[in-house]
Amino acid sequence: MELNYNKDLLKSLLSMLIAHDKECSMLEVSNIVVFNSKYHIDKKSKPTQTDPKYSELSDASFTIETDDEDIRAKFEDIKSIIIRNRGYHQ
C-alpha cells in the first residue's frame, strides 16, 4: 500500500517538474518500476551534531592583534568573561 502511494507521489512530482522547469518539458513519465527486495542493508549513519561541544575550556591566553580600539575592547571583555567563568569550573 505504502509502496504504491510512493510510486504515485513520485510520478506526480515528476509531472509537476515539467511545469516548473522548462528544460524538463520533454520529460514524460508513464511508468515507474520499483524493485522490492528482501536483501536490505541498513546504513548506519552517525547523527550529525550541528552544535559542537568541547570538553576543554579556554584559558584566555589568546593575543589581540588589532589596531581598532572597539574590537580590542570587545576582545578584552571576552577575556575577562572567560577568566571569570573559569573560576566556576575549576
With respect to residue 42, please indicate whether it lies within any of the assigned structural domains: no
With respect to residue 47, please indicate whether it lies within any of the assigned structural domains: no
With respect to residue 52, please indicate whether it lies within any of the assigned structural domains: no
Q: How is residue 80 written as a grid cell?
A: 575577562
Q: How big is the CA angle at 26 (ends 18 and 6), to the nearest 5 degrees? A: 50
* Total number of domains in the chain: 2
Residue 32 CA neighbour count, 13 Å, CB half: 17
Give the domain extent around 4.
1-36
29: which residues sit within 8 A by CB, 6+ positions away? 11, 14, 15
With respect to residue 41, please indicate whether it lies within any of the assigned structural domains: no
What predicted TM-score, i.e. pTM, was given to this entire model?
A: 0.39
Distance, in Å, from the CA atom of 8 to the CA atom of 16, rounded to the nearest integer, reads: 12
pLDDT by residue for the chain (90 residues), tens only, comes to: 677 788 888 888 888 888 888 787 777 777 778 777 777 777 777 777 777 777 777 888 889 999 999 999 999 999 999 888 887 655
